Amino acid sequence: MSKSTQRLHLVFGGELIDPAHTQFKDVSKIHIVGIFPNYSTAFNAWKAEAQRSVDDAHMRYFIAHLHRLRDEEVPASPTEELGA
């Protein structure tokens, strides 16, 4: 059986201070839509949330490519594994 790489994507959003930038007004109120197994399902979730909040120019949703945050072939240091 071949080993395949998971391509996880996080969809999240919230109210921005200024719609021209990506700084959230209140980080504690970020809406975590979910983590999705591929870009297609993440895009569909992002699109649904973006359409739901289309009337609020300060609300923005994003897709984060979690699989790009670390290279699974490179061993993590003990500190990295603890999340520090």
The span from the CA of 35 to the CA of 38, in Å, is 9
Question: Which CATH architecture is the domain 9-82 placed in?
Answer: 2-Layer Sandwich (3.30)
Q: Is the pTM of this model over 0.95?
A: no
Determine contact, residues 5/70, Cβ cutoff 8 Å. Answer: no
Q: What are the structure tokens assigned to 9, written together? A: 């994507």
Per-residue pLDDT of the chain (84 residues; tens, 9 = 90+): 446 667 899 999 999 999 999 999 999 999 999 999 999 999 999 999 999 998 999 999 999 998 777 666 666 555 555 444
How far is residue 3's CA from residue 21's CA, in Å, rounded to a whole number? 39
